[in-house]
Structure 1
Amino acid sequence: MAERLVTIATFNEATEAHIVKGRLESEGILCFLGDEHIIGAQPFYSAAVGGVKLRVTEQDVEEAQAILTRIRQGDNLFDYDTIEMAPPMQEHVEVQTCPHCGSDNISEEKYNKTVFSISYLFLGFPLPFLSRKYTCYNCGKTWKAKK
Structure 2
Amino acid sequence: MKLVLLTTCDNSIDANLIRTKLEHEGIPCFLNNENFTNLMPHYYNLLGSGVRVMISDELLDQAKEIIQLPDGRLKCPNCNSKNISNKAKPILERLKIIFIGIFLVAPVGNLITNFKCEDCQTEFKQ
Normalised by the length of structure 1, the TM-score is 0.44
**What letter is aligned with 1:57?**
S
Q: What does 1:54-133 align with in structure 2 at a 5 Å threshold?
A: 54-69=53-68
Gaps of 5+ in 1: 73-147
Match of 1:22 among 1, 20, 23: 20
Q: Tell whether 2:18 aligns with 1:32.
A: no
Poorly superposed stretches of 4+, deviation over 4 Å: none
Displacement after TM superposition at 1:45 (Å): 1.8
1:33/1:53 contact within 8 Å kept = yes
Aligned to 1:47: 45
Contact kept? 2:21, 2:67, Cα under 8 Å: no
Q: Percent identity?
A: 28
Q: For 2:15, give the aligned amino acid.
A: A
Q: What are the ranges of 5 or more consecutive residues in structure 2 without an aligned counterpart? A: 71-126
Q: How many residues align?
A: 69
Which structure is richer in relative contact order (CA contacts within 8 A, separation 6 or more)? Answer: 2
Return the TM-score normalized by structure 2.
0.51
Q: Could you report, residue by residue, the CA deviation over 1:94-121 in whole angstroms, capped at 9, with x for unpaired residues?
A: xxxxxxxxxxxxxxxxxxxxxxxxxxxx
Give the counterpart of 2:4 among 3, 6, 17.
Answer: 6
Q: Rg bigger for which structure? A: 1
